[in-house]
Chain A
């Protein structure tokens, strides 16, 4: 029955194997006599020490037990639950539940509500107190007024007018419901009716999709050709599902037609944006500092865990770049490490491998493929166990690195015993990059580091909708290329830039004709024959700094395909340096 346990202490009991016959005898014996179960048990097991049951209380742990119980239950149903506290737990439900269908005006409404109430929930503040409604704050009045102005200007602005009118209606309308969510949708459906009547171009289908779910049900019934009984059976969930498909199937989405062009400040360039944001005084700096200090205390623990074979991934809202940089400067100073900016648009797994082979391992050879290179690195690190390398990757989930192959290669690197990886992820769906195999390569320990820091560096490369392409990249490549040239070549290029800038306002300018350019270069003692000039131009062309075009007259024209702002900036920089 049981194995024998070695007797170390006389207090430890022993269980012996009892043959079937003995058991049978024992049972028969018991049946014969009036003895109780207890005695049988004593025969089987020989307790030499009775541990008394002390009374204990677990009050301090009670709360945690409850929470954990909760977690376990939920996990069992395979739904993610809270991280720590109740609010996050509620969050779980919200994250994975379906939303109510939204309407275009809701945003404006919510905005004015948020604006009206600096501290508290609007629906609470206004609900039982109609008098407050009269005191519409100044700013929201301005807001609706400006909307009205636009309404007059624009032909297609019926939708837009719905926002302020909806607001007014909602403020005046009855306020019996306690749930703010349902309150909005009720008033919305009223508005939508009005809007639908105004919008004559809109098809029935669109009108329908504007209805609140209850109305919609009634109207859609004949269209869907559903039997009434079936409709009755539909429960709440299927409604939600239907709403999802409704919102995603129809190609028409009701939003206002306003465009940024009508606003005065449409697009800002990167520099202006940065300047403007520099003027914003940071809020909650004390709290943010506290958060950061909390994370900084983990630095040594991270080092310990990295060295013990785990890799660390940081997640949570806010840029983790500064945090990792502080980690780098405070604990990595004496070790070889590579910092990789995943958000850099030119990054690739190849460049990561290159910097490891070329700069860390001082290897000058080339490799046929990334996999060969990886094999080489792996062997190198396996051979020499004294070699240690820390990899810091900002945004491991960036556009350039999130591919399957890249992740596989980085994962394989990180699985080496003497390569330590600490990385950050930001994207909502970042964990989807890793299947089980990759996760086991990475051997992650997750750390939440919510910092609320702005993603300044991370977004600066992006061609965001609202940011003008700044051309910082061409500028730097311009500088890099020209630094490697002879002074004469630089002079030639500067000449071309100046001429192009002089003509930038001329709409019919198609370039500098080769002959004129050669003449000017000769006069400036930059070239002595048109062959040397042509050789120079070829070099520019190779670096994509020059484009040549034959005009209608057969003459060759030279043009620099870089915008004039960048060119001017370049000239300024050049002058500064010289």
Chain B
């Protein structure tokens, strides 16, 4: 094999340049390797269009949601800047001058979403407050030296666009030794240098102050070592008059952490104000509202899929980003696996596309369960027409799609009404969030549920589950298991199943067995695994090997023995060695020195 060697582990393959130039467009992979590739190109384009729209919608949403938070943060920063500016001799101001203005930003546990927030925060600050915004992460700052180095290099990087290439050289020089003194002198330099340019260059409001503050964002406050934080705060408070610093702490847990990390002597050097970001649950509600509970996007999720996505969110990570990823995968899978998804676009376009459907696609429509149900209810002449004549089928499809669209418009409207009615009822019989109500409505007839209040019977005909609608398959993605498999996989269970029940994967009758048992013809590793389950913490290799040999010999008994028994034994021993090494690789056992020729089990329980 070209990729195996005893002397190296990385193998680079570079095709010659000519070949490389014709790189395959992504869309080609959409059609390749499957039987059903009707309208593949169009489907892929539609996928990309819808995904782009959804993505920009969520980004916009995020911006809007952060607006309030950011504006109050900016207000705070501006207020504290003006504190720096005032050359007041007022005693109160003097005291305040010793305190570093600090914004504690409570962001919640969904750390994966923080990056995006910080990115837009940086942008907002640079536009409104100061060009000097630096973001540090705990992993880059194991000690105060690295801390200052990172700070300096980023800070000096900030002004590179103004000072052109000079800054770069400076960075390279400064990297070796860095102190607060050098930072302050650099700051003096920069602010003085830029001043005369002011009238010439058109500048943002960021320079409205003579000396714009330096904003330092600590992304993950909790992960910083106490020592580094304390030292930095003490040092910088001494230099505050010449280096106007403002801190922003990103906090995932609770504000108490500040006092746990910093002793009173240090925290008294900070002038802390708390800011709370929007809770991720509210964020999710808004995302759902804008992406799914709307006719703006034709694509819809079935109840099961939505359940899985919200459950991953609520029980695993609270991450909006992951939720969006799940949505993207659903979208991709839908367009990939459903040939009729070509009609999953806005109504006028879909109507246009119906006219160009191929014969195969017409057949696909006829095969849809929802369409079959619909046809069965029609008069017999119409049935014949729908099943035999493509033209009448297309006409009917157009009107059905239109109906589906109307169904959705009414559906979401009524759903919101119902939610308004019920969301403030005591005990929340239909859920507190609209997504809960939505799930219930998707799943079954809402009026069949006990919780449903009889007074709201009117809503009945508008909240029919989507499965009742002909052609719902075109816009609904319902392969919940695919989603679960690819997003929320359970590798440990897969291993367990493969080892315990090989028949699940290898459909050979010889492998069929009763629950909890394994036939002796099973793969070696399964047998060794099954035997090792019978041991406690330590396993004697000799016992294990003999037990293994007993089983395997019995399985081979029927074979014509062309080889000598000695050789056979050797082969069996080799097979045992292989099985044991594989179990070691998989992490079930490890060598131990507790007892000669023993291995230790690393699992407790059935697996």
Q: Are B521's CB and A283's CB within 8 A?
A: yes
Q: Which of A228-236, A337-345, A499-507, A524-532 contacts B (4 or more CB under 8 A)?
A: A337-345
Q: Which one of A75, A80, A462 has the greatest number of beta carbons of chain B within 10 Å?
A: A75
Residues of B near A254 (CB, < 8 A) are 536
What's the Cα separation between A473 and B603 when bound, in Å?
Answer: 32
- B196 at interface, CB cutoff 8 A: no
Whether A111 pairs with B587 at a CB distance below 8 angstroms is: no
Report the separation of the CA atoms of residues A338 and B33 in the bound assembly, to the nearest whole angstrom: 24
| Interface residue ranges of B451-468 to A (CB < 8 Å) | 455, 457-458, 460-462, 464, 467-468
Contact A347 B10 (CB under 8 A): yes
Interface residue B501 (Cβ < 8 Å from any Cβ of A) = yes
Contact call A437/B112, Cβ cutoff below 8 A: yes
Any chain B CB within 8 A of the CB of A60? yes
Name the distance in Å between A159's Cβ and chain B's nearest Cβ: 10
Contact with A along B423-453 (1 / 0, CB 8 A): 0000000000000000000000100000000
Contact between chains at A88 and B497 (CB < 8 Å): yes
Say yes or no: B571 contacts A280, CB within 8 Å: yes
A94's nearest neighbour on chain B, judged by CB, is: B606
CB pair B536 A339 closer than 8 Å: no
CB distance from A284 to the nearest CB of B (A): 5
- Would you call B89 an interface residue if the criterion is a C-beta within 8 Å of the partner chain's C-beta atoms? no
Known contacts being A102-B534, A102-B536, is A258 close to B543, with CB within 8 Å?
A: yes
Question: What residues of A have a CB within 8 angstroms of the CB of B91 in the complex?
Answer: none
Q: Is B256 an interface residue (CB 8 A)?
A: no
Q: How far is the CB of B578 from chain A (nearest CB, A)?
A: 6
Which of these binds chain B: A219-227, A262-270, A515-523, A542-550? A262-270
The residue that B413 contacts in the complex, of A2, A316, A445, with Cβ under 8 A, is A2
Beta-carbon contact of B487 and A446 below 8 Å = yes
CB atoms of A443 and B325 under 8 A apart: yes
Residue B504 interfacial (CB < 8 Å): yes
Shortest distance from the beta carbon of A258 to any chain B beta carbon, whole Å: 4
Interface string of A82-125 (1 = CB under 8 A from B): 11110110111011111101111011111110111111111010
Is A121 within 8 A of B541, CB to CB? Answer: no
User: Judging by beta carbons under 8 Å apart, are B527 and A114 in contact?
Assistant: yes
Contacts of A78 in B (CB 8 A): 315
Contacts A256-B542, A473-B6; A467 near B498 (Cβ below 8 A): no
What's the least CB distance linking A20 to chain B, in Å? 15
Q: How far is the CB of A472 from chain B (nearest CB, A)?
A: 5
Q: Does A352 contact B (CB under 8 A)?
A: yes
Task: Say yes or no: B9 contacts A83, CB within 8 Å.
Answer: no
Residue tally, chain B, CB below 8 Å to A: 168
B492 at the interface (CB under 8 A from A): yes
Contacts of B405 in A (CB 8 A): 9
In the assembled complex, the CB of B507 is this many whole angstroms from the nearest CB of chain A, namely: 6
B438 to A: closest C-beta gap in Å: 15
Distance in angstroms between the alpha carbons of A71 and B581 in the assembled complex: 35
- Whether A111 and B582, one on each chain, are in contact in the complex, defined by CB atoms closer than 8 angstroms, is no
Given the contacts A273-B577, A341-B9, A355-B12, A115 and B111 also touching, CB distance less than 8 Å = no
What are the residues of chain A within 8 A of B11 when measuring CB–CB?
338-341, 355
| Pick from B315, B512, B581: contact of A467, CB under 8 Å | B581
Residues A458 and B585 in contact, CB atoms below 8 Å apart: yes
List B contacts of A253 (CB < 8 A).
536-538, 594-595
Among B19-27, B57-65, B260-268, B385-393, which stretch is in contact with chain A?
B19-27
| Shortest Cβ distance from residue B497 to the other chain A in the assembled complex, whole angstroms | 5
Residue on B nearest A371 in the bound complex, by CB: B140
Chain B 466-502 interface 0/1 with A at a Cβ cutoff of 8 Å (1 = within): 0110000000000011001111111111111111111
Are the C-beta atoms of A338 and B12 separated by less than 8 Å?
Answer: yes
- Residue among B504, B517, B519, B596 facing the most chain A CB atoms (10 A cut-off): B517
B34 within 8 A of A: yes
The stretch of A424-432, A490-498, A557-565, A566-574 that contacts the partner chain: A424-432
CB pair A430 B491 closer than 8 Å:
yes
**B539 in the interface, Cβ–Cβ < 8 Å?**
yes
Name the B residues within 8 Å of A464 (CB-CB): 577, 580-581, 584
Query: What is the number of contacts between chain A and chain B, taking CB atoms within 8 Å?
Result: 492
Give A481 to B30 CA distance when docked, in angstroms: 48
Q: How far is the CA of A288 from the CA of B506 in the complex (A)?
A: 7
CB distance from A14 to the nearest CB of B (A): 8
Q: Which 6 A-B pairs have the closest CB atoms?
A: A344-B9, A446-B489, A111-B547, A115-B554, A300-B33, A94-B606
* Bound Cα distance A92, B28 (Å): 39
In the complex, whether B248 has a CB less than 8 A from a CB of chain A is no
B274 proximal to A (CB < 8 A): no
Return the CB mask of B507-550 against A: 1 if under 8 Å, else 0. 11011111111111101010100111111111111111111101
Contact A12 B9 (CB under 8 A): no
Selecting from A25-33, A51-59, A196-204, A533-541, the interface stretch reads: A51-59
A339 with B10, Cβ < 8 A, contacts A2-B416, A56-B467, A255-B540 known: yes
9 A-B residue pairs with CB within 8 Å: A104-B543, A254-B536, A258-B542, A259-B542, A268-B573, A287-B507, A318-B498, A346-B9, A476-B7
Q: Tell whether, in the assembled complex, residue A310 and residue B329 are in contact, meaning their CB atoms are under 8 Å apart.
A: yes
Can you name the residue of chain B whose Cβ is closest to the Cβ of A52? B461
Whether A83 contacts B493 in the complex (CB less than 8 A), given A284-B506, A452-B523, A473-B6, comes out as yes
Determine whether the beta carbon of A114 is less than 8 Å from that of B518: yes
Q: B143 within 8 Å of A by Cβ? A: no
CB distance from B332 to the nearest CB of A (A): 7
A392 to B557, CA, bound (A): 43
Contact with A along B179-195 (1 / 0, CB 8 A): 00000000000000000
Other A-B pairs beyond A104-B535, A446-B488, 12, CB < 8 Å: A94-B496, A94-B605, A99-B604, A265-B569, A276-B574, A304-B336, A328-B3, A338-B10, A462-B581, A465-B584, A466-B541, A466-B576
Contact of B537 among A2, A248, A301 (CB under 8 A): A248
Residue B402, interface by CB 8 Å: yes
Name A114's contact: one of B308, B492, B520, B581 (CB within 8 Å).
Answer: B520
Partner of B9, one of A5, A340, A458: A340
A242 CB within 8 Å of chain B: no
Chain A residues within an 8 Å CB radius of B24: 334
290-311 of chain A: CB within 8 A of chain B: 290-291, 297-301, 303-305, 307-308, 310
Closest to B577 in A: A466
Quick check: is B409 within 8 A (CB to CB) of the other chain?
yes
Q: Which residues of B contact A351 (CB under 8 A)?
A: 8-10
* A72-B505 in contact given A180-B516, A258-B542, A336-B15 (Cβ < 8 Å): no
Any A CB within 8 A of the CB of B79: no
A162 to chain B, nearest CB (A): 11
> Chain B 206-224, CB within 8 Å of chain A: the 1/0 string?
0000000000000000000
User: Nearest-CB distance from A420 to chain B (Å)?
Assistant: 11
List chain B residues, Cβ under 8 A from A467. Answer: 577, 581
Per-residue interface assignment for chain B, residues 320 to 349, with 1 indicating a CB less than 8 Å from any chain A CB and 0 otherwise: 011001001100100010000000000000
Distance to closest chain A CB from B490 (angstroms):
5
B329–A465 contact, CB under 8 A?
A: no
Q: Once the chains are docked, how many angstroms separate the CA of A143 from the CA of B110?
A: 59
Is residue B13 within 8 Å, beta carbon to beta carbon, of the partner chain? yes
Q: A325's contact among B3, B23, B317, by CB below 8 Å, is which?
A: B3
Q: How far does the alpha carbon of A54 sit from the alpha carbon of B373 in the complex, in Å? A: 9
Given A99-B606, A304-B29, the answer on whether A440 and B319 have CB atoms closer than 8 Å is yes
